Amino acid sequence: MLKFLTILAICISVFGEEESQARLLVHKRILNRYLVEGHDLVIDYNIYNVGGSAALDIHLVDAGFPEDDFEVINGMLKMRLDRLGPGNNITHTVVVRSKKYGYYNFTAAEVTYLPSEDAQEVQIGYTTDPGEGDIIPLRDFDRRFSPHVMDWAAFAVMTLPSLGIPFLLWYSSKSKYESIVKQAKKH
């Protein structure tokens, strides 16, 4: 996040002189801590207009989630926005579910827009690149993060003889000793 803010500050200072056109900074990030096969994966796109005019006809297209590897659960991988005013931002969120596990390269999405109302040439840009992520198998995730109730139950059953037998021997000798002491006090 600090790296992104530094880039944002540099871009603002470099492009600060040319305030007549819109400049979009687009940040793509994956919000999940663990990427798990069969679980939802939340992708967040933040679009910032750091220019002096409104950006028009903004298109965001993310082709980095093919249908044979991911299923779109909520949101759209292709987004269109009519207008984004200067100094404004917008957030777009997509939820996908991975169908396979393994290393996966999360690539940048493409952004196209008109930098001003009288512009004829379409600006093309790309989001930040989240990089490579390891989608772990569901059984490995469950093995690592489940409460292991059956494992603890098996452990309890296996330790019961080693704790129970000495306790029974102690209790038996204690009961015999107490009965002998009671008989001795009566006489």
Question: What pTM does this model have?
Answer: 0.70
Confidence at residue 18, expressed as pLDDT on a 0 to 100 scale: 52
pLDDT grade, residue 175 (50/70/90)?
A: confident
**Over residues 156-160, mean pLDDT:** 89
Q: Are 108 and 129 in contact (CB under 8 A)?
A: yes
Q: What percent of the chain has pLDDT over 70?
A: 90
Within 50-122, strands assigned E span: 55-61, 70-74, 78-84, 89-98, 102-106, 110-114
The predicted-structure confidence for 30-65, as pLDDT tens digits, reads as follows 999 999 999 999 999 999 999 889 999 999 999 999
Residue 98 has pLDDT above 60, yes or no: yes
pLDDT in the model for residue 11:
64
Domain 18-144 adopts which CATH fold? Immunoglobulin-like (2.60.40)
Residue 144 is predicted with a pLDDT of 85
